[in-house]
Amino acid sequence: MDKIFLKDLVVKTLIGVDDDERRQPQEVIVNVTLDIDLSHPAASDSLDNTLDYRDIAINIREECATTEFYLVETLAEMIAGMCLEEKGVEKVTVSVEKVAAMEFVGRVGVEITRGK
């Protein structure tokens, strides 16, 4: 299966369980890999026949900016669901990483894989 990926997408969202975390939106890093057949888009060389990864990135950023989460697991699940609604996507892997969640760890997060 072919893949379209977005790496190191920075989004801001209200996320966390502690009061300190929930005072203002935090930056999280999102990585998405979409499993999709790209043979037709490659043959046609037309954006009309493929997913526009710019639109996917914008939609993820907008949804994150307007939704609150307690868990990174919930955020990852929401992003996976959005991606599976895209035409032709068979499977998606999403990782969500909180930056500076702990003073002695660079990033913490989760990675999930979902399919149709």
Residue 21: CB atoms within 10 Å = 14
What amino acid occupies position 112? I
Q: Pairing state of beta strands 91-102 and 26-35? A: antiparallel
Question: Over the range 54-64, which residues count as b (16 or more CB within 10 Å of their CB) and which as e?
Answer: eebeeebbeeb
* Residues that are catalytic: 98
* Tokens read off for 15: 């996320």
Please state, in angstroms and as integers, the Cα–Cα distance from residue 80 to each residue in 85, 86, 94, following that order: 9, 10, 6
